Amino acid sequence: MALYVQKYGGTSVGSLERIESVADRIDRWLASGHRVVVVVSAMAGETDRLIDMGGRLGAEGGGREMDMLMSAGEQVSIALLALALRARGHASRSYLGSQVAIRTDGSHMRARIVDMDTRHLSADLDKSVVPVIAGFQGVGPDGEITTLGRGGSDTTAVAVAYALKAHECQIFTDVDGVYTADPRIVSSARRLDAITIEEMQELSSLGSKVLAVRSVEFANKYKVPLRVLSSFVEDDSQNTGTLITHEETAMEQPLVSGVTYSKDEAKITFVGVPDTPGVASDILGPVGDAGIEVDMIVQNTALDGHTDFTFTVRRQDFSHVMRLVRDVRDRVGGREVVGDDDIVKLSVVGVGMRSHAGVATKMFDALAKEGINIQMVSTSEIKISVVIAERYLELGVRCVHSAFGLDQ
Ligand code: ASP
Ligand code: MG
């Protein structure tokens, strides 16, 4: 009799029919003798709708009110699911984050979970009551409602699984697992039976939307067993999804496990800045002070005492950064500042890279054969990322996917 934490995302509870189907699935798991704690997202599109309404009335500066607003979506879905479970003869109780309580550091709209009270949940489980917990929300030290950042229900689920020492945290979503590439772009992409947590963490931070990156970081740090599976496949025996493993198998790892991309990129180049100490910090200082995250940074070899300095930021921050850096340019000098937001970041991830050379060359060759120019490169132990023009995204993903033999 194992304990499972099951998280159902927005599309999985997107309509009353979908909620009924989720209740049926939980009913089946309970019937096979398991105990289940459920975490749910808001119904599909609901959080976007709430944020949009808030924005129209001036969300600026209103972190507290935005949290109040955004957290409302989950209150609806937990109550509906608890009702559907009761209709199937199961005692069930819905909980807001504050009722559990899931305690956070209190920072609005990007709070971190600091600890969790498990008393209600354990008492429910002892009485065969199914707790249904609102994802994405918690309560700050001052009793204020806080949210965990978009996609935060995944993090709630992993944290609950950790706190209850669940056998497995199961993330039910609209795809049946983690793929070697986005199947909408690469028709030959394959579902992975297993992937290491390190690879999953890279994939999530490099653009894969399957799991929120913070949930994967949490699962990695606390070794929470995690599985991604479909809420649309009815036959549970066919629905094994992708297991996120905490150990590399003894088997030889493939060089590359997956290809991913992010369109949320923009780059800024300072052309012909003086190659003197302090320039990089002069350029990036104001960007950091504005709370904007810089991703890749490339500085060319100096020529005649001048150099080009390029960095990338998220696309949503692009116009803000362009405004900031124009002032900087007046101070540091340099020929011009060029911005480009028609770029994407394409990445390959694999723990097999650790023990093999030539992975970057293979990727660059594949892109070169298709005439795709590489604008920037960054690498770490288990990933290689390149920046290319957005119009080459699909071609780039496909050619790299097949270069690493992921089609087979
Ligand atoms: N409903 C929230 C969002 O849309 C949290 C989640 O779905 O994980 O971001
Ligand atoms: Mg999600």
Question: How far is Cα 268 from Cα 271, in angstroms, rounded to an integer?
Answer: 10
- From atom 5 of ligand 1, which residue's Cα is the shortest distance away? 151
Can you give the C-alpha Rg of the chain in angstroms?
A: 23
Pocket test residue of 8, 78, 102, 150 for ligand 1, highest count of atoms within 8 A of CB: 150
Q: For residue 148, give the ligand 1 atom closest to its CA.
A: 5
Residue type, 19: I
End-to-end CA distance of the chain: 38
Spatial distance between the Cα atoms of 304 and 292, rounded to a whole number of angstroms: 32
> H or E stretch including 242?
strand 242-245
The reported pLDDT for the residue numbered 215 is: 98
Tokens of 257: 């496990």
Question: Residue 298 — φ and ψ, nearest 5°?
Answer: -135, 130
Residue 256: closest CA among 182, 350, 136, 191: 350
For ligand 1, pick from 12, 39, 41 the residue to mutate: most ligand atoms within 8 Å of CB.
41
Element (H, E) at 40: strand 35-40
Ligand 1 centroid–CA 256 distance in Å is 30
> How remote is the CA of residue 176 from the centroid of ligand 2, in Å?
14
What's the CA-to-centroid distance between 255 and ligand 2, angstroms?
A: 28
Q: Which residues of 87-121 are buried (b: 16+ CB within 10 A; e: fewer)?
A: eeebebbbbbbbebbbbbebebbebbbeebeeebb
Mean pLDDT of the chain: 95
- Tell how far the Cα of 133 is from the centroid of ligand 1, in angstroms: 13
Distance in Å, CA 280 to ligand 2 centroid: 36
DSSP assignment of 66-99: HHHHHTHHHHHHHHHHHHHHHHTT--EEEE-HHH
Tell me which residues of the chain have a pLDDT lower than 50.
none
Q: Strands 376-380 and 343-349, how do they pair?
A: unpaired
Ligand 1: residue whose CA is nearest its atom 8:
151
Q: Ligand 2 center to residue 43 CA distance, Å? A: 11
pTM of the entire predicted model? 0.94
Alpha carbon of 343 to ligand 1 centroid (Å): 27
Specify the ligand 1 atom closest to the Cα of 48: 4
Using one digit for the tens of pLDDT, what is the confidence trace for 217-235? 999 999 999 999 999 999 9
Measured CA to CA, the distance from residue 117 to residue 108 in angstroms comes to 20
The residue contributing the CA closest to ligand 1 atom 4 is: 47
Atom of ligand 1 nearest to the CA of 150: 9
Ligand 1: residues whose CB is within 6 Å? 9-10, 41-42, 47, 73, 135-136, 150-154
Of 397, 240, 265, nearest to 341 by C-alpha is 265
Which-ligand-closest: CA of 43?
Answer: 1
Q: Which two tokens stand for residue 242?
A: 């992708």
Contact predicate 393/346, CB 8 Å: yes
The amino acid occupying position 335 is: R
- Enclosing H/E stretch for 408: none
Closest to 325 measured CA to CA, from 304, 303, 310: 310
Environment class of 312 (CB within 10 Å of its CB; exposed 0-12, middle 13-18, buried 19+): buried
Shortest CA distance to 135 belongs to which of 191, 89, 205, 81?
81
Ligand 1: nearest atom to the Cα of 153: 8
User: Ligand 2 centre from 4 Cα, in Å?
Assistant: 19
Reported as a single tens digit per residue, the pLDDT across 69-101 is 999 999 999 999 999 999 999 999 999 999 999
